[in-house]
Structure formats: C-alpha cells, structure tokens
C-alpha cells in the first residue's frame, strides 16, 4: 500500500501545475486496483482542464504500471501489468491522478491489461488519442467499425481531412481512419513530418504553414474525384477557448479545415469535429478523450450524453488493444523525462504546442 508521502504534480485552480507532497493511504475497494505507476504520459489537457473548472487535484490522465493491491471484486490480480486513464470530473478524489507514484485504477472502463507485445512506453500513450478519435469518427460522425461490432455509416470511398496530423491525436486519427476504410486521407503538418505521416496511412500531406494550404487541399480533393465533407481538427489551434491565447490576425484551424471542404457540399451534409468547441460555428462538434458510462457526462458537469457513446468508444479501444500487433504503429517519437520538476516543465511545453510527432512520458519515481 502507498502509505508514505509521495511527490505528485498538482493542478491548481489558478491554472498552474506544481509539485506537492501527497500523503494519503490509498486503499482499493471492490473492482479497483492500487497501481504502482511506471510511466505517466503528458497531454495538453493536463493543464487545459483547469480552464474548464477541472482542477484542485493530482494532474494527469494516462498511466501504465503494476497492480500492487486489488479490491475484493477486481478483475485484476496483484503483479499484473495494467495501463489506462483516470476519469475526468470535477472534485475527483486525489487518488485519481496519473502524475504521482501510486494511483487507484477505478474500475474497468478505462483500465486494460497490458497485452503481450505491447510495450509500456507505447501503451501509456494510447488511451487519450485513441478514444478521442473514436469519439469523433464513431460517435460525432456516426460511422461504423464492423470489426469491433460498432454500427454506423459506411466509410467506403469517403474522403477525410485530418488537420494537425503530427499531434498525438492526429497521428492516431490517420491510422484509425485508414483502419475504418476512409480514402483518401488528407492531413496537414510541417513538411519534415510528411513522410512519417504517409507511413501511418495518409494519402497526401500539406504544409499547414503555406498561405495556399486551403487551395492546395481543394486541388488534391478535386483530382481525387471525391467530395470532401468530413474534417477532423486534431489540434483546434487559435480557437479562443479554455486558455488558448490567439495571436492577432491568426486564422483558426477550424476555419481553415472548413474552407478546405468541397464548396458544393451542403452545410447540413458537412461532418466537422474538433478537440475543442468552436463557439462561432455550430456546425463543428466537440469530441472527448473519455466518457463515463451512463447518460450524464461527469467531465462537463453532468450534461446529457448518448449512453451508447462510451460503449462504442470502449468497444473500439478494446478491439485495437487486442489487435495492436497488426493494426497499431508507434508513429510518435517517445521522450522520457525524470523528476516531478521536469515533468511540470514538460506539461507546460506540451500545453503551449511544443510537441510535434512526440509523446512525452514521465518516469518514476517522481
């Protein structure tokens, strides 16, 4: 049991992350497991969520480690390697935070046994990206994935644009879009990342810094003979929500992605989804990296949700984990850092957009 004081990275109400000493006797109950963390992974949400009123707790969502104690009805066993993500909610208990040495894996919805052949370093970076993409493609857009028994629209001959392919979510979106049958798959990224993204499944890449990027995408779409009506914004850049500072005159990635869609597609037929909401354009939907079971979404203060959405997300990631050897590539460079103070610095860097084709992990102990 984790009875001693431990270092933890704490997210305060002021939007700052700091190192604090945490003293709590974590005891797993029922289907929970006490996990000794090996790595936690950094996501922009680690800091961004403070601007959504989700703060005052240990920061971090993705983790991998070993079960050292389990509850009476836990499906896991002591010594078993596990990975997953903690819940997103206001006023959550201290034990639900990835950036500490021990945590409680609360139930089975977002906790998975580490399968043979999947390294801890790769597994720890999967949950947020994979589930975010699943929420966009299979929930917001309503497409199906029969391999995982997920019903929905057919993707055959459907073009898709992934804006921000070099982000962790964008790289996952390219792989998952290919698995789901989208074609062609267009994406934007810096030029030096194009070859890597094509290996993941992108049909054609475009430099998002080009002043002609929208016209370049439109020309490629026209050449493909398809219509572009599906766009996923994996970065939601320059949208003034949740702490984002927008430079004067900057155009948002959502505006650019929408402009790139085929002009003769009716607005009602557009399928647009991003990782952040777009207050000025209701055509855009907003996807999440985690949804609790039930018809009330804890991450957004109990707003209503389709209870099938979390079920569909879980079906997909369970399928992908089981089939990772054939269907998942580690497309991002893995950077490991040591120590809580360095972890804080890296959280700030990632939130500021400093990670490209990179997943940052914090080693233990903190």
- What pLDDT does residue 299 have? 86
- What pLDDT does residue 5 have? 82
* Domains by residue range for the chain, with CATH: 6-126+330-363 (3.90.180.10), 128-308 (3.40.50.720)
- What pLDDT does residue 4 have? 76
Burial tier of 227 (Cβ tally within 10 Å: 0-12, 13-18, 19+): middle
Q: If you average pLDDT over residues 35-39, what whole number do you get?
A: 98
- Confirm whether pTM is higher than 0.75: yes
Residues near 301 by beta carbon (within 8 Å), at least 6 away in sequence:
53, 90
Contact present, 338 and 344 (Cβ < 8 Å): no
120-124, 131-135, 302-306: segment of lowest average pLDDT: 302-306
Res. 312: pLDDT tops 60: yes
Contact present, 108 and 31 (Cβ < 8 Å): yes
Mark residue 301 as left, alpha or beta (left: phi above 0; alpha: psi -120 to 50; beta: remaining). Answer: left
Tokens 């219509």 belong to which residue? 227
Q: If you average pLDDT over residues 128-153, what whole number do you get?
A: 99
Computed over every residue of the chain, the mean pLDDT equals: 96
Looking at per-residue pLDDT, the higher value among 298 and 283 belongs to 283
For residues 215 and 221, give the distance between their C-alpha atoms in angstroms, rounded to a whole number.
10
Give the pLDDT confidence of 173-202 residue by residue, as tens digits: 999 999 999 999 999 999 999 999 999 999
How do strand 185-189 and strand 204-207 relate by DSSP bridges? parallel
26's enclosing H/E stretch is none
C-alpha 173, offset from chain centre: 10
Contact present, 128 and 43 (Cβ < 8 Å): yes
Name the band, by pLDDT with cuts 50, 70 and 90, for residue 278: very high
Contact present, 326 and 179 (Cβ < 8 Å): no
Give the pLDDT confidence of 219-268 residue by residue, as tens digits: 999 999 999 999 999 999 999 998 888 898 899 999 999 999 999 999 99
- What pLDDT does residue 3 have? 56
Give the pLDDT confidence of 314-360 residue by residue, as tens digits: 999 999 999 999 999 999 999 999 999 999 999 999 999 999 999 99
Contacts 24+ apart (CB under 8 A), 247-255: 252/278, 253/163, 253/164, 253/208, 254/163, 254/278, 254/281, 254/284, 255/281
- What pLDDT does residue 117 have? 97
- What pLDDT does residue 132 have? 99
Q: If you average pLDDT over residues 113-139, what whole number do you get?
A: 98
Distances (CA, A) of 269 to 123, 141, 222, 263, 284: 36, 11, 18, 11, 12
């Amino acid at each position: 049991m984790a009875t001693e004081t431990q270092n933890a990275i704490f997210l305060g109400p002021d939007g700052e992350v700091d190192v604090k000493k945490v003293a709590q006797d974590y005891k797993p109950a029922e289907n929970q497991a006490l996990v000794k963390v090996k790595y936690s992974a950094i996501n922009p949400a680690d800091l961004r969520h403070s601007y959504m009123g989700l703060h005052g707790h240990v920061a971090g969502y993705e983790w991998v480690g070993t079960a050292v104690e389990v509850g009476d009805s836990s499906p896991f066993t002591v010594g078993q390697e596990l990975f997953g993500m903690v819940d997103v909610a206001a006023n959550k208990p201290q034990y639900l935070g990835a950036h500490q040495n021990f945590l409680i894996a609360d139930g089975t919805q977002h906790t998975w046994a580490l399968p043979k052949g999947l390294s801890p370093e790769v597994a720890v970076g999967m949950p947020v990206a994979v589930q975010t993409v699943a929420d966009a493609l299979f929930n917001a857009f309503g497409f199906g994935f029969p391999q995982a028994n997920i019903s929905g629209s057919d993707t055959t001959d459907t073009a898709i644009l992934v804006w921000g392919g070099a982000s962790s979510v964008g790289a996952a979106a390219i792989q998952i879009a290919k698995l789901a049958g989208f074609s062609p798959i267009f994406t934007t990224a810096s030029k030096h990342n194009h070859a890597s993204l094509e290996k993941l499944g992108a049909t054609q890449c475009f430099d998002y810094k080009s002043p002609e990027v929208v016209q370049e995408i439109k020309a490629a779409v026209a050449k493909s003979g398809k219509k572009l009506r599906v766009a996923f914004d994996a970065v939601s850049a320059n949208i003034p929500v949740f702490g984002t500072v927008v430079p004067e005159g900057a155009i948002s990635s959502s505006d650019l992605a929408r402009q790139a869609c085929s002009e003769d597609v009716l607005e009602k037929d557009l399928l647009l989804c991003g990782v952040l909401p777009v207050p000025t354009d209701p055509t855009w939907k907003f996807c999440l990296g985690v949804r609790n079971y039930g018809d009330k979404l804890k991450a957004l203060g109990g707003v209503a949700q389709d209870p099938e959405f979390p079920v569909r997300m879980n079906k997909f990631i369970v399928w992908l984990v089981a089939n990772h050897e054939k269907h998942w590539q580690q497309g991002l460079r893995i950077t490991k850092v040591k120590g809580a103070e360095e972890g804080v610095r890296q959280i700030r860097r990632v939130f500021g957009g400093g990670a490209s084709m990179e997943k940052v992990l914090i080693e233990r102990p903190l």
